[in-house]
Amino acid sequence: MRMHTLYWPDRTALGADIPFRSNRLLQISVVVFSLYWIFMGIWPVQRSLWLVENLLVVALAVLLVWTYRKFRFSNQSYLFILLFLVLHTFATHYSYATTPIDEWLKTTFHTKRSYYDRFVHFAFGLLWVYPFGELYVRLAGRRGAWPFVVPAAIVMALSALFEITEAAGAIIVGQEPKGGEFVGMQGDVFDTQKDMFAAFIGALLAIAWLFLRQRRKRGELRSAAFAESGEAPTTGNGRE
């Protein structure tokens, strides 16, 4: 058995072969998130920035609904996606820079900028690797180390796309560049690069977790196979 077949879900994974009308977990998750998103959209700190930050949320929702009949993720992937959207939606209500978490950090530790913003970029890499890996494996097949490499590459590409879209959206709604304050840069001219690096670190941690998980599962399957055959497992040099 190839090592990368052990953790990536296939078409028989939980939720991947269940129509939406029968997938109770997904139904509940979508309803809860929709209510949460509507609630967090009421009186945001800065409406124009909220609109900019939610362009991709709406686009993602439309894409997932439009492609659902042809491609359904597993429930685990949908939960990872929704968890990321919960973190992002919370931040957009407070324009990212003024979340209660950041206000507490500034008061307690005298920090100068919003670190929740960077945490969400980190969470993007951490939580999206699994859905991207599932998408790759089910559409392109299982090929060696590629299921580990491709999700990280997609994370980096979309991180760059998000930064570009965010800047373009801000210009469209009338926010002009002013030093380091453009689109929540908070005075840091390298904010974009640091955000993308945070996403990359999150992706690496997710890949490391998946790799260790597959090694453990591989060992369990090997032990089970030897137990069923009545043979003792061997080491790499062929000795017992």
pLDDT tens, position by position, 200-214: 999 999 999 988 888
Note the pLDDT tens digit of each residue in 97-111. Answer: 889 999 998 888 888
Give the H or E element holding residue 125. Answer: helix 116-140
Q: Is residue 228, in this structure, part of any structural domain at all?
A: no
The residue length of the chain stands at 240
Place of tokens 């908070």: 186
Report yes or no on 17 lying in a domain: yes
Are 111 and 119 contacting, i.e. CB atoms less than 8 angstroms apart?
no
Determine, yes or no, domain membership for 47. Answer: yes
Structure confidence at residue 173 (pLDDT): 61
The C-alpha angle 196, 200, 204, rounded to 5 degrees, equals 170
Does 117 fall in a domain? Answer: yes
Instruction: Name the band, by pLDDT with cuts 50, 70 and 90, for residue 240.
Output: very low
Residue 3's pLDDT band, with cuts at 50, 70 and 90, is very low
Domain count for the chain: 1
pTM: 0.82
Range of the domain at 204: 3-221
